């Protein structure tokens, strides 16, 4: 019953990233603007872990960087919203966990106050992974789906437990 | 043991593992605690000094907060004493043509008050002494606007050899 308390806030963390970049300040997604989010990746480079080479490649290829940002923002918007709605919570939790942990490999060294980015990556990653196992019952779209399809999405002889 | 419990155990190990491993990797939390994101710091690896008095200052900003860049207000060439130095008003008014940036976004630039090097950027700044230099070993050093030439256990200087 208590899971929506964390699920809705966690989803909003990701869905609101989309709102900021697309609704509040569209300049964040315009490559020629000083507000362009792509510039954040440069700040990750000095002490990134495991993905330094990938970050450098991305920054040196502006077209790829733009596509990467669009794809990342779409994932944040879609799965952040899904998590808030409790729709395909198990899948959404997995995607959000990978986004949180993935960005942490680059950004986690940053945070002059309280190891900020590291805390975000570690806590949001762990919290999102909970939903892979817990799913959503109360206050979710999934509870309607569970009633109709208790074994998840059936593809041939496989049943995927997306909710 | 059923499949769910096995997967749950794996998830617990991955999630907790991410937290403790990144804590050590990014902050040395279990050995020597550090936070590279607090104080600006520059690495001058690759800096070259030529007999005609031209200095190719290779400056990478690898420490400090992500949102505010680093401000270099003094560049010195030293042997036993200061051979030549460039002050804030000179560094603050360098022509764009003398600064080349490794990454296309967040370029290093003069802002009228200092040489600004955003976090993560690695720039080559060409500076000219009004005289030629004798063969020998020199130290090239930069000062951040906070008056320091070292932070995070790193000195903002490089040894160069002329001739």
Whether B13 and B82 share a structural domain:
no
- Residue among B114, B117, B81 at smallest CA distance from B101: B117
Dist CA A127 CA A134 (whole Å): 11
Whether B5 and B65 share a structural domain:
no
CB B78 within 8 A of CB B139: yes
The answer to whether position A143 is within a domain reads: no
| Average pLDDT of the residues in B29-39 | 97
Give the total number of structural domains in chain A: 1
The answer to whether position A161 is within a domain reads: no
| B35: contact with A, CB 8 A cutoff | yes
Does residue A11 have a pLDDT over 90?
yes
The residues near A6 (Cβ < 8 Å, ≥ 6 apart) are A127, A130
Whether B5 and B64 share a structural domain:
no
Test the A interface: residue of B5, B14, B63, B120 with most A CBs within 10 Å? B120
Whether B60 and B78 share a structural domain:
yes
Whether B129 and B59 share a structural domain:
yes
Per-residue pLDDT, A154:
87
Q: Give the SS3 label for residue A62.
A: helix
The answer to whether position A12 is within a domain reads: yes
Whether B30 and B49 share a structural domain:
no
Does residue B27 have a pLDDT over 90?
yes
Whether B101 and B70 share a structural domain:
yes
Per residue in B116-146, pLDDT (tens digit) is 999 999 999 999 999 999 999 999 999 999 9
**Chain B CA closest to residue A121:** B19
Contact B105 A112 (CB under 8 A): no
Residue A112: which of B15, B25, B37 has the nearest Cβ?
Answer: B37
Shortest alpha-carbon distance between residue A39 and chain B (Å) = 6
Size of interface A-B (CB pairs under 8 A): 85
Whether B73 and B143 share a structural domain:
yes
Per residue in B64-110, pLDDT (tens digit) is 999 989 999 999 999 999 999 999 999 999 999 999 999 999 999 99
Dist CA A21 CA B83 (whole Å): 49
Whether B138 and B105 share a structural domain:
yes
| B42: contact with A, CB 8 A cutoff | no
DSSP codes, B115-130: EEE-TT-EEEEEEE-S
Q: What average pLDDT is seen over chain B? A: 97
The answer to whether position A44 is within a domain reads: yes
Give the total number of structural domains in chain B: 2
Q: Which chain B residues are within 8 Å of A133, Cβ to Cβ?
A: 4, 7-8, 11
The answer to whether position A76 is within a domain reads: yes
DSSP codes, B13-58: HHHHHHHHHHHHHHH-TTSS---TTSS-EEE-TT-EE-TTSEEEEE
Whether B75 and B95 share a structural domain:
yes
CATH number, domain of B77, equals 2.60.40.1930
User: Is ipTM beyond 0.90?
Assistant: yes
Q: Residue B4 is part of which domain span?
A: 1-34
The answer to whether position A153 is within a domain reads: no
The answer to whether position A33 is within a domain reads: yes
Q: Residue A76 is part of which domain span?
A: 4-134
């Amino acid at each position: 019953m208590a899971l929506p308390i964390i699920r809705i806030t966690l989803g909003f963390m990701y869905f609101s990233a989309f709102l900021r970049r697309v609704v509040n300040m569209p300049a964040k997604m315009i490559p020629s603007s000083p507000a362009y989010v792509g510039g954040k990746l440069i700040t990750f480079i000095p002490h990134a872990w495991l993905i330094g080479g990938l970050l450098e490649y991305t920054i040196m290829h502006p077209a790829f960087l733009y596509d990467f940002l669009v794809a990342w923002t779409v994932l944040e918007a879609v799965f952040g919203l899904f998590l808030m709605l409790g729709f395909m919570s198990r899948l959404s939790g997995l995607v959000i966990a990978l986004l949180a942990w993935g960005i942490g490999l680059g950004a986690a060294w940053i945070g002059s106050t309280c190891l900020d980015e590291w805390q975000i990556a570690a806590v949001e990653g762990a919290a999102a992974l909970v939903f892979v196992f817990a799913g959503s019952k109360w206050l979710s779209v999934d509870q309607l789906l569970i009633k109709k399809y208790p074994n998840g999405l059936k593809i041939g002889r496989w049943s995927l437990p997306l909710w | 043991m059923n499949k769910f419990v096995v997967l749950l155990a794996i998830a617990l190990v991955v999630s907790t593992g991410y937290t403790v491993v990144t804590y050590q990797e990014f902050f040395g939390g279990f050995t020597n605690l550090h936070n590279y994101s607090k104080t600006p710091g520059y690495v001058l690896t690759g800096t070259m000094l030529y007999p005609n008095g031209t200095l190719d200052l290779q400056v990478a900003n690898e420490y400090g907060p992500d949102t505010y860049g680093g401000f270099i207000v003094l560049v010195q060439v030293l042997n036993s004493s200061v051979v030549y130095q460039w002050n804030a008003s000179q560094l603050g008014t360098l022509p764009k043509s003398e600064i080349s940036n490794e990454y296309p976004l967040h370029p290093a630039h003069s802002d009228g008050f200092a040489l600004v090097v955003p976090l993560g950027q690695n720039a080559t700044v060409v500076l000219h002494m009004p005289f030629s230099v004798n063969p020998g070993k020199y130290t090239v050093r930069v000062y951040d606007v906070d008056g320091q030439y070292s932070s995070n256990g790193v000195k903002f200087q490089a040894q160069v050899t002329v001739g």
